[in-house]
Amino acid sequence: MTLAPATRAAPAPAPPPPKARRAAHLRRRLAPYVFVAPFIALFAAFSIYPMLFTLRLSFTDWRGSGTAQWVGWGNYTYLLGSEAFWSSLGNSAMLWLLVVPVQMVLALLIAVCLNNAKLRLRGVYRVSYLVPFVTPLVAVAQIWVVLFDQDYGAVNQILSVVGLPDVGWLTTTTWAKPTLALLFIWKTTGFIVVILLSGLQSLDETLYEAAEIDGAGTLRKLWSLTVPLIRRTLAFAGVMQTLAVFQMFAEPFVVTQGGPYNSTTTAGFLLYKHINQADLGTGAANSFLLVVVVMLLSLLFVRLLRSED
Amino acid sequence: MNPSRRTVASIGAHTFLGAVLVLSLAPVVWAVVSAFRPPTEIVSHPLGLNLSTLTLENFRRVLDDVPLVQGFVNTAIVLVSKGTLTLLLAPLAAFAFAKYRFAGRGVLFGAVLVTLMLPTIVLIIPLLLQMKELGWVNTYQALILPGAVDAFAIFWMRQVIAEIPDELLDAARIDGCGEFGIFARVVMPLIRPALAGLGVLTVMNIYNDFVWPVVVANSERMATLQVVLSTLAQNITGNRIGADYATVTGELLAAASLAMLPLVIIFIALQRYFVNGILAGSVKG
């Protein structure tokens, strides 16, 4: 960001009379309240209130109608002992493994290649990589369903040309997760590339020249220089994607409905299932457990980052 | 590096970048091209292309079957009003968070961070009950007001505004500028790149949002584009009487293409602002 230098050469104007100064001072003290007021009104009505409502709900057995019984920590202990809860976390953890490491490496390689100002077609590449990011998920998820259809899909068609057998991409427990992971990687990598580029642009060229004189190769420079230097940006992107993967709902909703055999019932999708079965109290408790998990994971990232400082 | 090694490296980079480019665009291009093919051909030869049989049949049928035009109109109305609210209120609140001390600042900003971590689906039930009580189900205000000031927008704008030197704001004060004047005439122009980035991101989020709209605006008159699209998607699983797989697939691809194109075109036109905005307003390496 470019900032105009503050002008301070002009002689200071005569100090305003005390009364006017007091008024200005008062205005300055009141201003922030006025500025946050519209935000607070909307935030309190449509974020804080529903959040507290959900919190209260999580201690009841309410099913959407009738009177609610207070059940204390009942929903929480039920979930912690239920298979569905742990398997949804397991599914999300598996998706995380399939998505985040692959995507980080891929995005870093792309960003490093694009960071070269002399690269031809740089703008074309950058726009193309962001096209998946701006396409509506509902549209793309449907394209995925059609492309990966076992009998009529283009992907199996390509495989058969190479002589490989059909794969039940969305119908087998082995392949449903990788197929969803692929959709997620395809859709969001372009955005991660832009975020990493923002970290790369602030790096000091002379460090690289020094490393080259010392005979460091491309990979060595990438691993020993670039990665440590942009680790804050990498961690930011990592936290963002971890949140997104554990909250993932729309992808399984449109593509697999959580199946086959719950293999794509992610932590986020399980919330929807509780809601859909009118198990509102359990759903509310589940969402707060998920918040705890997500917070712990974010803290872990921040820790990893600090320990290297 | 000597020239021949540099050439090898450059060929390598272009091969890699080119392959990623093809994979990024292929599904979109395939869907748009296939939307112009007869449904039976899409199913029997998904990768074929017979120029002589290209048709508008899929588009015609989907426009007859579902209220796609009304969906576009609804999306446009929500987009303009909700987008304006976000782009005005988020920087204003973020300015207060970044540059003033006031009672409750820490607690309030903590609450913003918590909502960032809360899965949006959690709030759906209480919000829906709230809308029922207000009588707002299937209204524009239900689509516009919840989520109009997004926690991420506040968080991001606060980061950006915090980087503006305080001396600049004090200088404006000495020149007799009021507090709102400082916001409108000093802060807003300075954060323009990040604001443009937020603008593109906001437009995208509103245009693509579907979970909340599906729940709160499912009537034919109020359905947004994404709601129409996801209703159509449920047909592919075969609930619709008399429609075969091929026909529905054709309609689906036509609808998906129509829904994707406006945003992709807007984005390509504005991508410079978007990329520069993110570059201007993100965490420093």
In tens, the pLDDT along A86-133 reads: 999 999 999 999 999 999 999 999 999 998 878 889 889 988 999 999
In this complex, the residue of A106, A138, A201 whose CB is nearest that of residue B279 is A201
In this complex, the residue of B121, B229, B236 whose CB is nearest that of residue A272 is B121
Question: Among A187, A233, A3, which Cα is nearest to B278's?
Answer: A233
pLDDT beneath 70: ranges in chain A: 1-17, 305-309
CB contact under 8 A, B207 and A198: no
Query: What span, in angstroms and rounded, lies between the C-alpha atoms of A12 and A197?
Result: 43
DSSP per-residue string spanning B64-87: HHS-HHHHHHHHHHHHHHHHHHHH
Are B143 and B78 in contact by the 8 Å Cβ rule? The answer is: yes
pLDDT for the residue numbered A4: 45
Task: Write the pLDDT tens digit of every residue in B22-62.
Answer: 999 999 999 999 999 998 888 888 888 888 888 998 999 88
Are A120 and B7 in contact by the 8 Å Cβ rule? The answer is: no
B106 and A CB contact within 8 Å: no
In this complex, the residue of A109, A128, A249 whose CB is nearest that of residue B21 is A128
| Complex ipTM value | 0.84
Q: Which residue in chain B has the smallest CA separation from A38?
A: B89
DSSP state of A194: H
Are A92 and A248 in contact by the 8 Å Cβ rule? The answer is: yes
Backbone angles phi, psi at A170, to 5 degrees: -110, 0
CA dihedral (A238, A252, B198, A41) positive or negative: negative
Q: In which residue are the tokens 């120029």 written?
A: B51
A169 and B CB contact within 8 Å: no
Which residues on B lie below 8 Å from A190 (Cβ)?
A: 24
CA-based nearest distance A229→chain B, Å: 6
For A75-307, which CATH class? mainly alpha
Q: Is B166 among the domain residues?
A: yes
B8 and A CB contact within 8 Å: no
Q: Is B2 among the domain residues?
A: no
CA-based nearest distance A164→chain B, Å: 17
Are A225 and B277 in contact by the 8 Å Cβ rule? The answer is: no
In this complex, the residue of A1, A113, A133 whose CB is nearest that of residue B193 is A1
- High-pLDDT (> 70) share of chain A, %: 93
CB contact under 8 A, A39 and B149: yes
CB contact under 8 A, A154 and B47: yes
Query: What span, in angstroms and rounded, lies between the C-alpha atoms of A117 and A119?
Result: 6
Domain count, chain B: 1
CB contact under 8 A, B120 and A247: yes
Query: What span, in angstroms and rounded, lies between the C-alpha atoms of A288 and B274?
Result: 34
Task: Write the pLDDT tens digit of every residue in B140-188.
Answer: 999 999 988 888 899 889 988 998 899 999 999 988 888 999 999 999 9
- Residue B230, domain extent: 65-280
- What pTM does this model have? 0.86
- Helices and strands (H and E) in chain B: how many: 15, 0
Query: What span, in angstroms and rounded, lies between the C-alpha atoms of A72 and A50?
Result: 19
List, in sequence order, every residue forming a beta bridge with A70; answer none if it has no partner.
Answer: A60
Touching A: B residues 49-88, CB under 8 Å: none
Are B121 and B211 in contact by the 8 Å Cβ rule? The answer is: yes
Q: Which residue in chain B has the smallest CA separation from A131?
A: B264
DSSP state of A196: H
CATH, residue B248: 1.10.3720.10
CB burial of residue A74 (10 Å; 0-12, 13-18, 19+)? middle
Are A291 and B118 in contact by the 8 Å Cβ rule? The answer is: yes
Q: Is B182 among the domain residues?
A: yes
In this complex, the residue of B14, B168, B229 whose CB is nearest that of residue A139 is B229
Q: Is B3 among the domain residues?
A: no
Are B185 and B240 in contact by the 8 Å Cβ rule? The answer is: no
CB contact under 8 A, B126 and A1: no
Element (H, E) at A197: helix A173-200
Q: Is B158 among the domain residues?
A: yes
Question: Among A174, A177, A192, which Cα is nearest to A129's?
Answer: A192
Contacts of A280 (CB under 8 A, 6+ apart): A57, A62, A63, A64, A274, B125
Domain ranges of chain A: 75-307
CA atoms within 13 A on the CB side of B123: 22
pLDDT for the residue numbered A9: 47
Question: Among B82, B122, B64, B68, which Cα is nearest to B230's?
Answer: B68
